Structure 1
Amino acid sequence: MLQDLIDPSLPLAEQNARLRAILSALMDRAERGQMQSRPMGQLAHVVALEQQVRTRTRDLAEALDKLRVTHARLSQAERDAVSARNSLVDALEAMGEGFAMFDSRDRLTMWNSQFCAALPDIRAQLAAGLPFRDYVHMVSDSDRIGLTTVSERRDWAKRRLQSHTRRNANFTVPLEGDHWLQVSEQRMNSGGTAVIQTDVTAMVRTERLEREKLLDEQAQMVRATLDHIDQAVLIFDAKARLAGWNRRLREVFAPPSALLASGTPFTQVLDDLMRRRQLGQGRIRQVLTDWVDGPALRPPLGLDIVQEDGTELHLSAQAMPDRGFVMSFNDLTTERRAIAEMHRLNETLEARVQARTMELEAARDAAERANASKSRFVASASHDLLQPLNAAKLFLSSLATLENTPAQSRLVDRVQSAFTSVEDILAALLDLSKFDIGAARARREAVPLAPLFARLRDEFQPMADKRGLRLVVMPCAQAVRSDPVYLKRILQNLVSNALRYTRTGRVLLGARRCGANLRLEVWDTGPGIPPDQQAEIFKEFTRLNPATETGMGLGLAIVEQACALLDHPLTLRSRLGHGTVFALHVPIALAETALSPRPPGPETPPGVLSDMLVLVVENDATSRRALMGILEDWGASPIEATSLPDARVQIAALGLAPDVIMADHQLDGGATGLAAIATLRSEHGDIPAILVTADHGPALMEQAQNLGIPVMTKPLALRRLRRALQQVPQLRGGQNKTAQRAKRGDHSYWLQPDD
């Protein structure tokens, strides 16, 4: 308000002048008002004071009323508290057990008349605020406690205070006169401790009687047991006095009846046995005497005794915790004689076994050498046959593109079918040889099932149509962790077998989730497999119906060994006349993602490879000519070379680098296609390249993958080769960028998933 009347920005002298004027006006107005109506002002003041007094009086009356109500409630609460305390005291007194309560500071706050009733000298010293430690020391010093020495009392007090630190504690205190007191401590939520004392004298005495009765029964059982064992037994107490024996002891030693009496000293028993020469000769007496007189924790004693009549005994002595000991005598005569006779018989038997073992080892080594030689021969023969087979397949493909008569086309189809069968057999033999010589290696990765199932459907649909069967492939969007090549080979063999042995109905390929695994199943409606032949079908060269079905019986043998290599359990269920189910359990790929399949491009007509310069490095003339013909049919411009120097000459003559290099791995003079590709790339830049080989081994695949070079194995899959060459224009100058994805062996990064 004052700031509204006076502007703070004015000079100080002007502000003071204005304040004096305002003060003067106010004083003048106040004096005029008092002179005109002073009696009326006093009356108004009195009325106002009276109103205030009435208000204050009313407030005081209300406060007094509230105070009376609060006092009444407080009095009722005190009465309730006293009643509750009395009820608590009555309840504690009615417990029949001693009860005391210590607060969070371990001070005694409450107890009943039964607490420490068995310790009258302690009972008289109880008082509110007594510390728990003082209470424990008072109990340990009590005359009624069942502890004799000062050290025992101190140890008891120490253990008692240690148990008090735990939340719950239960223990028994011995008192004089064979009385027993059980103490239970319970820690309360407030931090205090409740102590309950219970007289358990009657319980302890009853338990003691039951235990003594049980010991008597046990003694009878021990006696009966001793009489029925085959060893002779002597039992001595802590003072080396005879306490027990059994019937077998009389049979072995035939001691005098007077000797076998409770309390007979050990020395007297030993003297009698030595006098009658029952313990043989030597230092037996001294050894036994020293052992008996030894310390309480002496180790067991064992002695072999030979009596005069040739009887062999084994003496065992074992100390007991109370310094007593047990001696047992076991008759080993029959056993020792049997062992001696057995050793005598084994002398000639061992020689015969050794000779037979040497014969078997020689036969085994010969069989292993023959098997390894067979496996190496199969692998070598398969490798050598793949070269001409690859050339023949390429020539047939070129022949099929010519304008042939219908008869010639049928002949070409039959020849191609025959070569396909030979190729399948060679591939099967090569797979088996890998398993036999331990060269098979699995490369586990995330394999999407959708493109794999699609490839299998496209591959086997013509076979199903030809046989009049319905092939059903259930869709599956999951990915599994496996080797893509071996997994495809397993499913190919299972589906092929199902189609081959099913006459009518359908063949189904699908997947079911089974915990962390997928169960890949192949169902058929074939004749079924008899139970006695379900194990035989996995053997090599085994066929159920060799007269009616083609093949060599290698498919399921490869399936079994491939499943063992991949650790994929394989199960079989079959019913005669209803069909068969093969199930393969494969773990689901959770932590990794498979390569996303790219949609297949449109089928390209012949001639799409026009103006593509393909350098073919192949030392085998037949294979080189066949591959050149195929490339020319596709519209490419192939350049042939037999070696790296020849390839350099061809490139120099043309004056430009090729668009793509196709190099066979095994060249003349020990040269390799990988080395040729690396050299040409170093001279002409990162040229896209494909390594062609008849070596299906994992070492070469791994080496090529590390260099980012895709591998195609012989016999060449022409559709895949053409698709690979069609991708070359997209890869020129960028193979290094995409080479990081070329880590799938035959599943190269430029191949479509349906190849």
Structure 2
Amino acid sequence: MCLCMTLAYQLAWQHALRGESENVQRQLGLYAQALAQRIDRYRTLPEVLSLDPELRSALHQALDQPLSPSQVDHLNRKLELANGVSQASTLTLIDLHGKALAASNWRDARSNVGEDYSFRPYVQQALAQGSGRFYGIGMTTGLAGYFLSRAIEDEHGRITGLVAIKILLHELESEWLQVPDTVLASDAHGVVFLASGDDWRYRLLQPLSAADEAELAATRQYANQPLRPLRYKVEEQLDHGGTLARLQEPALPGRTLWHTQLLPASRWQLHLLHNTDASRTTSRWAAAAAGGAWLALCLLWLFVRQRQRITRLRLRSRQELETVLHQHAQELRTAQDGILQAAQQAARTTDTGLSPSLEHLPQGVVIIDADLNLVAWNSRYVELFRYPAELMRVGHPIEDLLRHNARRGLLGSGPMEGAIQRRLQHLRSGKPHLHESAKGDGTVLEIRGNPLPGGGFVTSYADITSYKNAARELRSLADTLEKRIAERTRDLDAAKQEAERANRYKTRFVNAAVHDLLQPLNAARMYTSLLPGHLHDAAGRQVAHSIDQALASQDAILTSLLDIARMESGQLEVHVRDFALNALLEVVQNNFGMQAESEGLTLRCLPTHYVVHSDEALLRRILQNFVSNAIRYTRKGRIVVGCRRVGQQLRIEVHDQGPGIPESLQQEVFEEFRRLDEGHADDRGTGLGLAIVERLGRLLGHEIGLRSQLGKGSVFWVTVPLGDATALAPQPVPSHVQQPDTGPLHGACAWYVEDDPSTRAATCALLQRWGCQLPFAGGAPEALAEAAPGNAPQLVLLDVHLGAFYGPDVYTQLCERWGSAPPVILLTAERDATLRRQAAERGWGFLAKPVRPPALRALMSQTLVRGREGG
């Protein structure tokens, strides 16, 4: 038994320890991900601020002369505004000599402004390599944090200073305190700088070398904080990872399971110390169970042996008993005959009517003969009806008992004789019956009667009062529940109506906010399109190109956010039909071929003859996002777009030769604002492309997926159903239109109705540059006042939201005053599919703000040419 207990203890200990190790490793992964996400939240802020012209100008000036107090105050407030309301970070602007010119904590008594940080590694790294990172205790504030720095360059590419952000990680330690385990984070020197307890912080996991001590002293990474050793003894290295150790200082009870994970983005290590008392308890119980099982087997064997011995004894004594039984058999038979004779005599002489065979029954029972006289009953029957003793005699008529009950009101409120005769007649008929009767004291009886074979009747009376009360309470409870369900249903209906009303309010608010956001962006795009014509040096044109790219990126972010909002609110319309896939792949090849070549890549879309069933525009959006991401994250090689048939489905795949995606991040890349760090430095995307792809796939019912291998590349794919090739109608061949030598916009007369002054000014300057004549440019009231018969333009550019006026209604009134209907192009920030469809049905042009100048020029030219051809 001891050997069995020892073996069970060891097996249970290993199994429990393996399970706890797996749990600890999963927890370590979650802690590492939380730490990385917290740092990633602030990672892009220094990069964005390094492009700020005010910061670049201030650092350039600081090279020659010190900044004035007003300039420093302005920079302090700018950094404070950039840092926002968060108290978990600090922004600092540092010059080329390591001196802090401005900081977001300038209001604090221990501000960073004016301090010398040239000895800090993150300053030296940024000035030498362009960026840096460092964890240490702040020399000014005394608070520990993680520093991220980014160099700031002038227009000639020279480094003039840097901007640094300090991220406080004490919130992570507060979260670690909520778990019973001990969580530690150590740096490359083995110094614990984050811990779930104060006693564990600034402990040494290993002795410091002389070089490490010199480096810590030079960088003052941990200031004057004493570094004490963490004393522990390793007892066992586990095969499945981890270590069993005993912690001596700080002390932990029992044996501790120690797991370590290296953080990939740095040389840090994350440690988790887990108490193994639960595994030890499980092992002890397993040993006790094994010992109990072994003891039970031994007792079972002893029991079998005892049974065999008793059986032999019984066989031996059976013969002796048979002799004794044979001798007493005659005497027993004689005694039994005497007992039976005495019982028969006693039955003939009794006249009480109480039957011993009926006394054990819980119901009241009465038996009458064919003449309706009493034969037998039990005590429960007398107790239920409280009959007097003189009525309960054998041979007494049952009619007297019924009459006694009638006088007490137990037969109802009708005529007494009629009620008695009905019951007597029913007994004479000999028909079985079952009914319920309520007594005056609230007792409810179930009365069941059945005829006897030789004549007579037996009736039982069961007290079912408790059952009826329970049924009554259940009915009352059911009624109460129905009322509550009805009330809850009304509350839910009211809440649903309130939610729908709030959603309508939100939609109107979003549309108005989008209109206000896109108006200045549209004006900025128009002005930037005019800049190249006014700039004559390459540097100025490069700045104008950079501004246009930044506005295009902002346009892409707003468009993506609006698309996500429309998909989640169900406002994005889907037009599914059968179409040839090859034409769509040719569009992708034409749109991205030149961009791939500019990045040193080769893009090839393999031709296909398949017909698919989907929304052509939305499917093109999915493939464009796949190809755009492939170009962004592929350094060299080629990108291939091809198709594979899988049953009745067609899988469109985009192959690239990029760095690949780790398996742990393959689901996260489809989340909003989730970007990898392997993209080109000047084009990392917005982090919304794959999130839109995932939602479009759900909207269309198409499966989206990827497979990737680190160092070899990734494959993104979408599965679409095959369509019917015979249902496609042949496309008409467009006739060649001879274009005039001069541009259609030159000399064209146009009216521009827009209520936003900045957008109107930018667009008017652009149209005049193209040679258009603008007799009128203004708001809706001015346009209605100006319109008159005979002064209709060749083209009308019209905004939809014009203050209190609605663009299509204004156009109708203008046509009535002109007496004609010139072509119209709607320029609007509202991305409503219904409005776009209505414009298409009426033959109107439609462009969504912010308007790209090439798109506006192309649509205006096409509209004027079509108008001239149609007379």
**Which TM-score bucket, shorter chain as reference?**
0.3 to 0.5
* TM-score in terms of structure 1 length: 0.46
* TM-score in terms of structure 2 length: 0.41
Structure with the greater alpha carbon radius of gyration: 1
